[in-house]
Amino acid sequence: MMKTMPAERYFFPQLIENDQLIFLDGGEHHHLIHVMRTKLGEEIEVVNGMGQLAAAVVESIEKKTVSIRIKTIHTEMLNTQKIILAQGMPKFSKLEFIIEKGTELGMTEIWLFPASRSEKKDLSENQHERLNTLMIAAMKQCGRLFLPKIIIMPPIKQWNSVETQTVFFGDVNPQAKPFISLLKELKPEKDAVFCIGPESGFTDQEIEHLKVLGAHGVKLNQNILRTETAAIAAVALMNHYFTY
């Protein structure tokens, strides 16, 4: 399916079938009725984050729910290659930015871990819900049909292995190879993980453990990047490599 600017889309986190009657509530109900002011009989699009995009018609509008009838469904196959960002926990405002832009750029998973220099070590339930909301909104806006996964990981020093073929990390060593050059040299055919430290970077011990795991230190730019800038650059380059 050709990528075009998506119409107004609504999220329904379940598998969808033709002629199914589904119900939207909560934030989706509010946006449809009070923001977009959608009327009975109007057509909308529904996405479930699992590869399905459906055209639907609004059949009824209630105070807390909207019922819509599924008319047609487009299904996209899941790409088996994973683009994984392993992000040392930054300040929450920066994490919000990373989640939103990473989703737009094709990130399939984000591993969040408490780095030694992370000021923030975990997420509250409300913060986790906020990140999911941002991710859903970004998915709908950019036209993606699959919702990335948020995975909470332990500190790097507790990682015994990484379930992927190729692992990279941001290295400030001037002798580190450029990321895109090493990607072309190694030619990873499966998944790629890029590990990025928090605002103050990795400790020497964390870097040594990453090397033990077989990770490759690379540079993303001739300049030293902020953690959120590095995250976006890494995801964009991985997506470009696997897509083009």
Is residue 76 within 8 Å of residue 42, measured between CB atoms?
no
The domains of the chain are located at 9-75, 83-243
Domains 9-75 and 83-243 share a fold: no
How do strand 52-61 and strand 43-47 relate by DSSP bridges? antiparallel
Please tell me the predicted confidence (pLDDT) of residue 173: 86
Statement: 9-75 belongs to CATH 2.40.240.20: yes
d(CA 116, CA 141): 35
Residues 103-140 pLDDT 10s: 999 999 999 999 999 998 999 999 999 999 999 999 99
Measuring CA to CA, which residue among 84, 114, 135 is closest to residue 198? 114
Model confidence pLDDT, tens digit, residues 148-207: 999 999 999 999 877 667 999 999 888 899 999 999 899 887 789 999 999 999 999 999
Mean pLDDT across the stretch 221-228?
A: 93
CATH 3.40.1280.10 correct for 83-243: yes
| Edge-first strand listing for the sheet containing 9-11 | 9-11, 43-47, 52-61, 66-75, 21-24
DSSP state of 146: B
What is the rounded distance in angstroms from the CA atom of residue 24 to the CA atom of residue 12?
7
| pLDDT tens-digit series, residues 28-40 | 999 999 999 999 9
Task: State the pTM of this model.
Answer: 0.92
Report the candidate in 158, 171, 165 with the shortest Cα–Cα distance to residue 234. 171
pLDDT (tens digit, 9 = 90+) per residue, 51-87? 999 999 999 999 999 999 999 999 999 888 899 999 9
Instruction: Tell me the C-alpha distance between 173 and 146, whole Å.
Output: 36
